[in-house]
């Protein structure tokens, strides 16, 4: 089984995740939907529970110790997140409700201020709806032009015409890793290409921050964002990172408490970063939980997480192909080094929804659907796919369970 010759001890790590080690009807859980949302380790759950039982208090606004300590914990989490992605300063870290809000914040605040009719925003065919719809809303509203980087036949971005697409562009916004195909994109190269034409480089890092070391400065990115709930943290909090000068120059997005330094009947003045973009009471407990998730991941080491997932990818690809040959079509790269451990596939003509339902009989949890990437689905010629995604707590046993469950699916159809 796993453990001995892998980069991290997934068998041991599993024990930290109560849902992962649970069983239903006596059958063990096989959670393969972490690209959607990850399970939470006891360390995170306990940090949240302890805070709510012992230290819950408002932050920023009150002088009493309980509140001062809550503030320190909250701001401490910000520092942890800043270090985790190698941001220059924690002033560059804005807590949002999820990655989607972060992308909307950029489109509303930076976009409405800096884009005008005819301006070009370049996206790719493998974007999540969160990196499409906010731009389409701007398109409707002010008439920007959207251009799309297409795919090659082996599920990479087709960069052959990138310079044409980027010509005159104001923004290049792309995912660091496809949540459908598993493809990992060459982020540094794409940021450099954007900057070469004076465009902003926005990296949707939802699928890579949880799975590999991140260095936004090495990327040379302008903005990035990701969600706590995909990286062992709680739901209800996302992170926007942006270069300080950019954030500094942007107008506020949501207005209200905490984001102001002055309010009079005739107008308001913004607070400093990052408060300027954190209107209202933030997800206090959740940010503290995210801080615990960062600690947890650091304890394991992101390079180890990445290595484990490369190993899982090798195993899954070899196994499924050996066992099912042409009966399974995996929509994504074959080289484990070029992908994350997220596999979308078609199997024996069984509709993904039915497949997911049947796999569920043995607690194998895979997602079926369009994975919030409808344009991509159309391009790969599927209405829906089944998707199995592996994380640090998944072992080869999980991959075997998937294969076994798939095999028995044909008993019904």
Partner 1 sequence: MPGVEDLYREIILDHYRTPRNRGELPPPAVCTEGNNPLCGDDIRIFLDIADGVVRDVKFSGQGCSISQSSTSMMTVAIKGKPVEEVRALVRRFKHMMTLSDDEGAVDESIKLGDIEALGGVVKFPVRIKCATLGWNTLLEGLNSSQG
Residues 103-142 interacting with ligand PLP (rule: CB under 6 A): 128, 130-131
Nearer to partner 1, 122 or 386 (CB): 386
With CB under 6 A as the contact rule, the residue among 38, 156, 207, 385 that binds ligand PLP is 207
Q: Is 4 in the site for partner 1 (CB under 8 A)?
A: no
Choosing among ligand PLP, its own copies, partner 1, none, which partner's interface includes residue 398 (Cβ < 5 to 8 Å by kind)? none
Site string for its own copies, 318-357 (x = CB under 8 A): -----------------------------------x--xx
Decide which of partner 1, ligand PLP, its own copies, none touches 405; Cβ closer than 5 to 8 Å per partner kind.
none
- Catalytically active residues are 372
Binding residue (CB under 8 A) for partner 1 from 261, 298, 335, 410: 261
State the Cα–Cα distance between residues 217 and 219, nearest whole angstrom.
Answer: 5
Rounded-to-integer distance, Cα 82 and Cα 176, Å? 18
Cβ neighbourhood burial of 25 (10 Å; 0-12, 13-18, 19+): exposed
Tokens found for residue 404: 């076994």
> What residue has token string 């990296």?
203
Q: Which of 190, 297, 377, 406 binds partner 1 (CB under 8 A)?
A: 377
Tokens of residue 297, six digits: 């991941």
Using rule CB under 8 A, residue 320 touches partner 1: no
Residues 238-257 touching ligand PLP, rule: CB under 6 A, are 238, 257
> What's the burial of 270, exposed, middle or buried (CB within 10 Å: 0-12/13-18/19+)?
middle
* Cα→Cα distances 58→11, 339, 342, Å: 39, 42, 39
Nearer to its own copies by Cβ, of 110 and 253: the residue is: 253
| Rounded to 5°, angle at Cα 84 from 82 and 88 | 40
Is residue 252 within the footprint of its own copies (CB under 8 A)?
Answer: yes
Contact 209, 226 (CB under 8 A): yes
Min dist CB 372 to ligand PLP, Å, is 6
**The residue to which tokens 């080690």 are assigned:** 21
DSSP state of 231: T
Residues in contact with ligand PLP by the rule CB under 6 A: 98-100, 128, 130-131, 175, 179, 204, 206-207, 227, 238, 257, 280-281, 372
């Amino acid at each position: 089984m796993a453990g001995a010759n892998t980069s991290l001890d997934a068998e041991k790590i599993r024990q930290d995740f109560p849902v992962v080690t649970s069983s239903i009807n006596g059958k063990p859980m096989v959670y393969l939907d972490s690209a959607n949302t990850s399970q939470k380790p006891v360390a995170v759950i306990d940090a949240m529970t302890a805070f709510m039982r012992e230290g819950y208090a408002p932050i920023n606004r009150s002088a009493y110790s309980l509140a001062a300590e809550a503030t320190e914990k909250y701001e401490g989490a910000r520092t942890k997140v800043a270090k985790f992605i190698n941001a220059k300063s924690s002033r560059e870290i804005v807590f949002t409700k999820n990655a989607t809000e972060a992308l909307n914040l950029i489109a509303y605040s930076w976009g409405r201020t800096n884009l005008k009719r005819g301006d070009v925003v370049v996206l790719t065919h493998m974007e999540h709806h969160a990196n499409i719809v906010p731009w389409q809303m701007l398109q409707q509203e002010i008439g920007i032009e959207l251009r799309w980087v297409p795919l090659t036949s082996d599920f990479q971005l087709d960069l052959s015409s990138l310079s044409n697409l980027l010509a005159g562009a104001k923004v290049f916004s792309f995912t660091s890793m496809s949540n459908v195909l598993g493809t990992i994109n060459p982020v540094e190269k794409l940021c450099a290409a954007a900057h070469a034409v004076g465009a902003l480089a926005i990296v949707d890092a939802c699928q890579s921050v949880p799975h590999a070391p991140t260095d936004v400065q090495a990327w040379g990115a302008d903005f990035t964002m990701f969600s706590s709930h995909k990286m062992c943290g709680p739901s209800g909090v996302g992170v926007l990172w942006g270069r300080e000068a950019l954030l500094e120059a942007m107008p506020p997005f949501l207005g209200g408490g905490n984001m102001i330094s002055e309010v009079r009947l005739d107008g308001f003045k913004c607070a400093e970063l990052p408060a300027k973009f954190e209107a209202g009471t933030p997800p206090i407990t959740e940010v503290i939980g995210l801080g615990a998730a960062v600690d947890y991941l650091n304890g394991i080491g992101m390079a180890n997480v990445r290595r484990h997932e490369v190993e899982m990818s090798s195993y899954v690809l070899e196994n499924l192909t050996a066992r099912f040959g042409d009966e399974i079509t995996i929509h994504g790269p074959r080289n484990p080094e070029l992908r994350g451990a997220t596999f979308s596939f078609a199997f024996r003509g069984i509709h993904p929804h039915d497949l997911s339902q049947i796999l569920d009989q043995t607690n194998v949890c895979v997602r079926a659907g369009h994975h919030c990437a409808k344009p991509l689905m159309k391009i790969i010629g599927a209405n829906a796919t089944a998707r199995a995604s592996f994380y640090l707590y998944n072992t080869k046993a999980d991959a075997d369970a998937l294969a076994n469950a798939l095999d028995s699916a044909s008993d019904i159809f």
